[in-house]
Amino acid sequence: MPVSAAYVSKEAATNLWRNRLMTVAAILTVAVSLALVGSSLLLKQGASKATVQWQNGVQAIVWVKPAAGATLTTSIGSELHQSPYIKSCVFRSQSYDYSEAKTILPADELDATNQADYPSSYRCVLNDPSQASQVYQQFTGKAGVASVKYPGQQIKTMQSVIRILQWVFLSVAVVLLLSASVLILNTIRMAIFARRREVSVMKLVGATNWFIRLPFMAEGLIQGLAGAAVAVLVVLALYFGIGLDTPKTAANQGSIIAQMSLGGWEVAGTCILVAVVGVVVGVVGSAFAVRRFLDV
């Protein structure tokens, strides 16, 4: 028998209103935890945008002139491998570097170049990161080498701060999400208790199990979604509030926020993820309550 959506939503709304104090508590907890999840995701995405070349422990980059040719490029590679400062190097082709540049360079700057003008590179991990300047001295000016770059103190600090923030945010968020599930479970347990007479009559006259369960499940779903909606607002406020929506241009290259600039799709993705987690938390909490306390 199909359960009508109107019936389910009406019953769920009645339950939520009857139990509004607990409902508000559950929604707020979901909202706070999901806001933390969402903002740490934004930060992480922004940070990886700003530091995309310095991922995976890369500590120095040797840019090879586009005109260097295969032989010269290979010889730079073998020289790097023999260098006492360098642990390992990965070669990145022109096409790889060009597509990476598309994600980090302002559009107006990139327009002036094409793939053939773009350098290939060696991404190197050092034996001792503090020796980056020695690598710089050794390879700068060599035949075929365009330039040698290593991350400045600013990037290193930013990476470590963001890493710490991320872990703090995520662990707080996980704890809060757990307590949100428990709060939702408890609201639904109370709703089930308040309606035990109705439930027993429903069972007696032959209402199907899903007919009895769905309003309670919907209740949890609504709480999760409402919390997620608040969290999405917080994420959007953060995004527009600190200017992560400002596109990168040649003029604002100095600003770290502009380096972290995120596109609409990335924010939309974060919001969708937040909503999905909200739904999961609500449904899991209510499913638990229904399994445990609704004897059908």
Where do contacts with other proteins occur on this chain (CB under 8 A)?
Answer: 1-4, 7, 197-198, 200-209, 211
H helix intervals, 20-152: 20-50, 70-82, 94-104, 107-110, 132-139
E strand residue ranges, the chain: 60-64, 86-92, 120-126, 145-149
From the list 290, 292, 280, the residue with the least C-alpha distance to 178 is 280
Comparing CB distances to other proteins, the nearer of 4 and 137 is 4
Tell me the C-alpha distance between 219 and 224, whole Å.
9
Comparing CB distances to other proteins, the nearer of 143 and 204 is 204
Comparing CB distances to other proteins, the nearer of 107 and 194 is 194
Taking the complex as a whole, how short is the minimal distance between the CB of residue 1 and other proteins, in angstroms? Answer: 5
120 DSSP 8-state letter: E
Comparing CB distances to other proteins, the nearer of 4 and 88 is 4
Comparing CB distances to other proteins, the nearer of 193 and 240 is 193
Comparing CB distances to other proteins, the nearer of 11 and 219 is 11
**Edge-first strand listing for the sheet containing 86-92:** 86-92, 120-126, 60-64, 145-149
Taking the complex as a whole, how short is the minimal distance between the CB of residue 26 and other proteins, in angstroms? Answer: 25
Asked if 226 and 26 count as a contact pair (C-beta separation under 8 A), the reply is no
Tell me the C-alpha distance between 248 and 263, whole Å.
10
Taking the complex as a whole, how short is the minimal distance between the CB of residue 278 and other proteins, in angstroms? Answer: 30
Rg (CA), the chain: 27
Taking the complex as a whole, how short is the minimal distance between the CB of residue 18 and other proteins, in angstroms? Answer: 11
Taking the complex as a whole, how short is the minimal distance between the CB of residue 213 and other proteins, in angstroms? Answer: 12
Comparing CB distances to other proteins, the nearer of 2 and 254 is 2
First CA to last CA distance, the chain: 16
Burial level of 190, CB count in 10 A (0-12/13-18/19+)?
Answer: middle
| DSSP SS3 for 147 | strand
Taking the complex as a whole, how short is the minimal distance between the CB of residue 189 and other proteins, in angstroms? Answer: 20
Taking the complex as a whole, how short is the minimal distance between the CB of residue 285 and other proteins, in angstroms? Answer: 24
